[in-house]
Structure 1
Amino acid sequence: MTEDLFNSLLKYIKSCNTNFSLSNNTGAASRQTRTQEIPTAVLFTGVNTPDHTVMFSNLRTNLQQKISPLVASLTSKTCTTIRNIIQQVLGQIIHQSSQMSFSDDEEDLNPKSAPCTLNTLADWYYDKYKKVGNFPSPAKKKRSENEDTVNADSSPNLPNIVIIFEDLESFTLKPLQDFIMICSSYQCRLPMVFIFGVATTMNSVHNSLPKLVSSQLCMEKFQVPPPSEYMTRLLDETLLNADVPFKLGPKVFEYLLDVFLYHNFSISYFMKGIKIAILDHFFSCSLSYLILPEKNSEVMTQHIKQTDPDAVRQLPSFMKYVEISPHSKQKSLLLSDKALKEELAKLLEDFHLYHKNFFIMLNCLHILVGKLPKYPLGKQRRELYLLCLKQFICDTEQYQEAMNLLRFLSKDELENMLISCQESLLKQTLTDPCIPVCSKLCDFLKMLEDLDGMKLEEENKGNSDDEELAQLPKRTNLHNLRKTLQEMDKKKKKLSPFEKLREEIISYMDSNFRIFLKCPSSIPLHEVFYYDSLPILQDYFTVCPRAAIQKALSQPHSYLKCSCCEADPGVILSSFPDVCVAYKLHLECGRLINLYDWLQSFITVLEDSENKPKRKDQHKVLQARFIQAISELQFLGFIKPTRQKTDHVARLTWGGC
């Protein structure tokens, strides 16, 4: 999805500084101090900051490969002063240029020893490109030898110097403003282009840069697609694709979606969740090797031959399948391994066919209900898919509400929906059960077109109804009037040809949805393809730092896996790490801890009573180790200094987490 954005961005950067000439670096031109506007691309990246690093890395690679090797990428963490900014620019540009050098004899400037100024960069740029003359190809070099000597200064397409500010809002304002002003004064000597990464709005740029600074920039806006579009594209190519056999269960899928939509908007976080789910599924499920695309039939056959029959029989879905099978078949599946493997091959084939039919009809259902008022089945396809994962969707209230709303569609709306369904079906490889659906939709569309000739009959019926109303007596009693109106209402309940056809279409689609959109959990062997272990995934992503730290300090054996640290919870061994000894001793103290008493207890634990210290400086070593241990506890937030008593520290944590 970023390909179109990158193409437009690269096209803009390529069109910048087209009139730049190296002659500006010579003579009186090099002493000019007049400022010029710097071409600036303002890239609105959105609030999904965890994904920005990958995006800017890809952007930098594209720039270096297609536009210019002179690209510097700056972040607020490493650019706190004007000197840091210039150092980063010089270091990245000169170092990158030396790696992509076109000549072995070319000597590049050492950025560490050179003065940290843009004048150094300007001189280096002039010395470098007056020789190479805009990356001449070997053919151009040979041609230039036979022609008159061409002045390198007149090269029309010298490479731009592209400087990327990845997180503009986080930069320290004064160094950033000074750097822009300095660059504007060097624009006549250096063809610079800025790229501002902005996570919020244009107001943040104007708030960061005063008018004097922003007037030096010629800004062009570029918008990164929202994270929801990335998510839709990702799901369409992975979890909502029948060619990918591995799927997420409803609990895991809903959890990852909620984290994405309500917490971080991070695609990379979502992808990490899928990767962990795949790893855990293949590690924990003994039959996960059966997850293969249908096209790998030969490999699948070999895997089936090596399958453990007992592992298949223990699957809950297979046990239900055996229960509903005929008695003779039950006996063969439970006792004959050969019959079991033959049935396993058939079930796997049926499961792949189920996936294909499922996603084909899921697309059709989404087209029909995706634009209904109040979106009873959700606006996005992922919402509809989640409902299908949880239960049989045709039995839900939302589905019934959607079907009722479809019965109020106009002819044009219904016709457009059927055309969209037909186009969706034609784009996919249809299975044998879905081919009749496509042909039936074509018939329905023809029938809708034929209804145009029936409008005259409907108008005539409307006129006859008006005549009946006109024939009502002007004076009558209430009983007779009510009876007459009830009879007329019964006549009006007769459906028009369009209403009959609409009801037929909705009923036909409803019957197909009930056939093909069965809940995955009702299909045999769904445990092989679907991963739904939510607690394990939450352990990876919903971390509890305090619990992990306290467990490591109180039970070091659980992390170190050494026999010397195995002990009961209340025992303190001398083999424990120093910080663990200090931590367990501090648990025995109150709100204020005397450092001297703590030190003596620490020394008592670590000294071996049988082998008393022979060295005179042994206590000094233990004292140093104690100081380091309590410093680590202070860093972890368990203690802090107190002004109440200078030789005490205050305890900050109590009890478990």
Structure 2
Amino acid sequence: MSPSVTPDSPPSPSKSENSETNLQPFFVLHKALPRKSEGKASGSRKTRRKIDLSPTLLKSNDKSDSDNHLYEQLRIEAFDLVWSNIETTIKGVLRRINVDLFNEIYSWVCESFSATKSTGTLGIYDVKRSYPVVINSICKQIFTALILTKNVEFVDDLLTFEELGIHLKSHGCHVANISSLDFSVKNGVGGCLRSLLRQTVAITPDVVDISILAAWYSEPDNYDKPVVVIIDDIERCSGIVLAEFIMMLSEWVIKIPIILVIGVATTVDAPRKVLPSSALEHLEPRQFTLGSPIERMDAIVEDVLVKPTSGFNVGYKVAAFLRNYFLKHDGTVSAFIRALKIACMKHFSMEILSFLAKGTFNEDSQGFWSDKCKLLPEVMLKYAFDLPSCQRLIAEKVGDNLAHGLSEVKKLRKNWSSVVMCLYEAGKFHRMQLLDILCEALDPDFCNLEASDYLLTVGKDITLPSSADHGLHDGECSGLTKGRFILQAVQTVRDLPVALLLQLLKLWEKHTVGIDEVIQKVKELQSVLTFEDHDKTIEPEGLRMRGRPMSRHQLTMEKCTSSVNEKAALLVEFMIRNYLTPLECAPFHEIVCFKHVDILQSALIGDPRRTIQVDLLKSHTYLCCSCCNKGGSILLPSMHDTSIMYNLAQEHGDLINLHDWYQSFRATVLSSCTKTKHKLQRSPMSKKRKPANAVANVFEASIQARFCRAVTELQITGLLRMPSKRRPDFLQRVAFGL
């Protein structure tokens, strides 16, 4: 806050002598007001009620503050651990998705490098010459990979091209990642060439010249390796600059075997729209395609939100909101990841016991939670057992019961994950998205119904939700489409042929490890299908080729196959009924599950002007200072100047009289000085203290400076409009109400 100046105190001689050299610190946050016992004059003998500062009370307050600080630090550490694990998982997922494509691109780079070298062999003298070598017109061709990214936002592709560069470097290639922003008219061809030299030669010369790159490549350590230049998005480049860059490289392609890798966000004919024909004739293109955003999203959701290894979970409404947020942003994976990180951050900042989520990473989770819960204070244990999910829980409020409850949550979460993956494997045959199945599986209203209530409709007309359903608020499904993705997955199991059903059962066996009852039934179905498949293979082919009617044995086998499909569908229904219990139905789930969709929506969409107004009107609640809190709604001089000004502005309409506003501010700031002056007048030493005119003038100037600074800050935040020439004594308010 602004430093306070007391006009009644005489200037010190030592300070006046060294006023130019003695620099006083400027306090951004104000100091607390002095205690009344300290400000009381020595001659006053009026007794006052003393504040209880007994050692017992001080120790209890200190202990409470230290505990709060300790648990806050534990929550921060838990968030760092959980999010670093999620971030590492996401990077690994994206790398795993693209590894096959990266290997294919590397093989093509090797073939292109060999083809470039085969056009002409240079001697050592030709290599060291500082000008290009051209043998024929074919030598000017640059092998170019056009990678179709299928993304509207190129932000998703930045990590992909970065990983591609790392992959090619690990295989011995020279790689330079040049941003499309470098290919601008402002930077010219020198900007992209400077970036190329910085990443290869590791220098940034004052005058850029491609001959520097040729000299670097002629060195023995760098020679005989392809130079790959990666450009993330051709459609964001300036066509003129990129064309000049390509034509310059084509002159040096024999001495510097450069291979281009260019990202294309829309269609394969995008280079024709950006580049002129003179540059296109120097490119030898090859087309590659990245995985779609939907494929990436399903892989991220599987490893982060479905598998019980991340330590962070979301509720039904939050998951539905994340799905709609992804769809509304044209399938931008980066937008989804940003929203997920904000949700994770909000959870660990709001939930007091969220630091216990670290136990999910521990092999002995039960032991970890038992040790932690035994050390919890009684207040936190009471808070845990008063959670909404524990209202019907009859248990003693002790740490062991809390640890047992968290272990049950982890077990329930693992079984739920297994069933969701089984449904997704079945839904893949109809190209279902995992995020849609996830939202339905998290819905406590849908999964709390009896299985017969929603599985009776399987034999009826089942249609997938339309695209209009994706636009519903918070991702809520309408009554006609609620639960349709799970029903469709169950119906798919009934219609699968034997070969695909066998393949599906193998995947179910992998996903249901740890659920012995389900694995036993899966193995029984596998044995039946294997036996029937064996019978079909030993049947003579001639009986089926002559068009003869099916024998009784064949009819029996067909009936057995359909009965096995029905048994597999019944197995899915059994898993749904017994193991697809949403996390929101378990006690203590609030500790590891984020459900506040309104807070997430507010953080993503935001209302910055309203937030600024609330912060200014209630600044003392955020600064947590005792001197400002005790005033309540009364303005105190110790408050921040901008906060005082904006509170005073509430007394005016859309126009604020500048003079009246200043006088109100001045009266608020001087209120503490007036009280001090009255006290000093009653003191025996008050006759010796007389304010100097010089000090009063300096103090008045400081108030005016503080007033001007506060007005400027309100203008910068967009809450005020400065005076016009027509009415220079009035300011206009821009924002009204909250």
TM-score, with structure 1 as normaliser: 0.69
Q: In the TM superposition, what is the alpha-carbon distance from 1:62 to its structure 2 partner?
A: 3.9
| Residue equivalent to 1:81 | 185
8 Å CA contact retained: 1:641, 1:650: yes
Q: Please name the residue that 1:320 is paired with.
A: 392
Partner of 1:257: 323
Aligned partner of 1:325 in structure 2 is none
Q: How does 1:578-589 map to 2 (within 5 A)?
A: none
* Inter-CA distance 459–562: structure 2 relative to 1 (3 Å threshold): closer
Give the alignment partner of residue 220 of structure 2, picking from 114, 130, 133. 133
More contact order relative to length (CA 8 Å, sep ≥ 6): 2
Cα distance in 1 for partners of 2:358, 2:493 equals 50
Is structure 2 residue 139 aligned with structure 1 residue 47?
no
Taking the TM superposition and a 5 Å limit, the aligned residue runs for 1:202-351 are: 202-244=268-310, 246-263=312-329, 264-266=332-334, 267-273=336-342, 275-276=344-345, 279-280=348-349, 283-285=352-354, 288=357, 290-293=359-362, 295-296=364-365, 298-300=367-369, 302-303=371-372, 306=375, 313-315=385-387, 317-318=389-390, 320-322=392-394, 333-334=395-396, 341=400, 350-351=408-409
Instruction: Answer whether contact 1:356 1:431 (CA < 8 A) is retained.
Output: no
* 1:102-127 deviation line (CA, Å, top 9, x unaligned): xxxxxxx652xx32x4x3x31x2343
Equivalent in the alignment of 1:415: 498
Superposition map of 1:21-60 within 5 A: 21=122, 23=126, 26=129, 29=132, 36-45=140-149, 46-60=151-165
Structure 1 residue identity aligned to 2:221: N
Structure 1 contact 554–580 (Cα < 8 Å) conserved: yes
Cα 1:177–1:600, aligned 2, differ >3 Å: closer, same or farther? Answer: farther
- Matching of residues 406-555 of structure 1 within 5 Å: 413-416=496-499, 418-428=501-511, 429-445=513-529, 455-457=550-552, 503=566, 506-555=569-618
Distance 1:193 1:656, change over 3 A: farther
Judged with a 3 Å threshold, the aligned counterparts in structure 2 of structure 1 residues 26 and 595 are, in CA distance, closer, same or farther, namely farther
Quick one: distance in 1 between partners of 2:730 and 2:271? 47
Please state how far the C-alpha of 1:87 moved relative to its aligned partner. Answer: 3.8
- What is the deviation of 1:344? 6.2
Other structure's SS at 1:39 match: strand
SS of residue matched to 2:156 = helix
SS at structure 2 position matched to 1:239? helix
Q: Aligned pair in 2 of structure 1 residues 506, 256: CA closer, same or farther (>3 Å)?
A: closer
For residues 133-172 of structure 1, the aligned pairs below 5 Å read: 133-135=220-222, 155=223, 157-160=224-227, 162=229, 164-172=230-238
Residue 7 of structure 1: aligned partner: 103
Distance of aligned partners of 1:7 and 1:596 in 2 relative to their CA distance in 1, 3 Å threshold: farther
Q: 1:426 to 1:72 in 2, by over 3 A?
A: closer
1:226 and 1:14 map into 2 onto residues whose CA distance is 26
| Pair 16,651 (structure 1): closer, same or farther in 2 beyond 3 Å | farther
Q: Shift in Å at residue 347 of structure 1?
A: 5.5
The 1:170–1:604 alpha-carbon spacing in structure 2 relative to 1, beyond 3 Å, is farther
| Counterpart-to-counterpart distance in 2, 1:125 and 1:630 | 55
Shift of 1:545: 1.0
SS of match in other structure, 2:306: coil
Q: In 1, distance between residues paired with 2:293 and 2:319?
A: 17
Question: Of 412, 417, 433, which aligns to 1:359?
Answer: 417
TM-score by length of 2: 0.63
Q: Report the AA paired with residue 171 of structure 1.
A: C
Deviation for aligned residue 1:298: 4.7
1:426 corresponds to which letter in structure 2? E
CA 1:551–1:568 in structure 2 vs 1: closer, same or farther (change >3 Å)? farther
Q: Give the drift of 1:546.
A: 0.9
DSSP 3-state at the match of 1:3: helix
Q: What is the match of residue 656 of structure 1?
A: 737
**Counterpart contact for 1:273–1:537, Cα < 8 Å:** yes
Distance in 1 of aligned mates of 2:562 and 2:133: 81
Q: Secondary structure at the match of 1:434?
A: helix
Q: CA deviation at 1:592?
A: 6.1
Shift in CA distance, 298/187, structure 1 to aligned 2, threshold 3 Å: same
CA spacing shift, 1:289–1:13, aligned 2, 3 Å: closer
Shift of 1:441: 1.4
Secondary structure in 2 aligned to 1:655? coil
304 and 630 in structure 1: CA distance in 2 versus 1, 3 angstrom threshold? closer
**Offset, 1:71:** 1.7
Residue 96 and residue 575 in structure 1: after superposition, are their counterparts in 2 closer, same or farther (change >3 A)? farther
Counterpart in the other structure of 1:400: 456
Name the CA shift for 1:288/1:414 in 2 (closer, same or farther; >3 Å).
same
Instruction: Note closer, same or farther for the CA distance 1:43–1:436 as it changes in structure 2 (3 Å cut).
Output: same
Shift of residue 543 of structure 1?
1.9
Alignment CA distance shift 1:530-1:409 (3 Å):
closer
1:417-436 alpha-carbon deviations (Å, 9 max, x no partner)? 53133211332434322232
CA, structure 1 residues 57+565, in 2 after alignment: closer, same or farther (shift >3 Å)?
farther
Alpha-carbon distance between aligned partners in 2 of 1:28 and 1:371, rounded to the nearest angstrom: 59
Q: Are the equivalent residues in 2 in contact too, given 1:72–1:89 (CA < 8 A)? A: no
Residues 594 and 647 in structure 1, CA contact (< 8 A), matched pair in contact too: no
CA contact (8 A) 2:426 2:493 kept: no
Return 5+ residue gaps in structure 1 as ranges: 99-108, 136-154, 323-332, 373-377, 462-494
What SS does the corresponding residue of 1:423 show, helix, strand or coil? helix
The structure-2 alpha-carbon separation of the partners of 1:598 and 1:190, relative to structure 1 and needing over 3 Å to count, comes to farther
Cα distance in 2 for residues equivalent to 1:555 and 1:273: 24
Alpha-carbon displacement from aligned partner over 1:360-405 (angstroms, at most 9, x marks no partner) = 3333344445656xxxxx9223322322221353647654333657
Percent of aligned positions with the same letter in both sequences?
A: 21
Change beyond 3 A, Cα 1:55–1:446: closer
Question: Are the aligned partners of 2:390 and 2:587 in contact in 1 as well (CA < 8 Å)?
Answer: yes
Aligned residues: 566
In the TM superposition, residue 7 of structure 1 has moved relative to its aligned partner by: 3.0
What amino acid maps onto 1:334 in structure 2? Answer: E
Partners of 2:327 and 2:648 in 1: CA distance: 45
For residues 420 and 57 of structure 1, do their structure 2 counterparts lie closer, same or farther at Cα, with a shift above 3 Å needed? same
Inter-partner Cα distance in structure 1 for 2:231 and 2:624: 46
1:276 shift after superposition: 1.9
Measure, in 2, the Cα distance between the counterparts of 1:649 and 1:214: 62
